[in-house]
Amino acid sequence: MLPAYRIALLCLLLVGLVRPLAAQTNPAALAQTNGCMACHGMVHKQIGPGFAQVAARYKGDPAAASQLAVKILNGGMGNWGRVSMTRYPQLAETDRLALARWVLAQPPLP
Residues in contact with ligand HEC by CB under 6 A are 31, 34-36, 38-40, 47-49, 54, 68, 71-72, 76-81, 83-86, 88, 99-100, 103
Residue (48 or 52) nearer to ligand HEC, CB: 48
Residue 84 DSSP one-character state: P
Angstrom CA distances, 48 to 8, 13, 30, 76, 107, stand at 51, 44, 17, 11, 17
Contacts of 37 (CB under 8 A, 6+ apart): 31
CB of 94 to ligand HEC, least distance (A): 13
Contacts of 3 (CB under 8 A, 6+ apart): none
Residue (13 or 84) nearer to ligand HEC, CB: 84
Residue (14 or 47) nearer to ligand HEC, CB: 47
CB of 20 to ligand HEC, least distance (A): 24
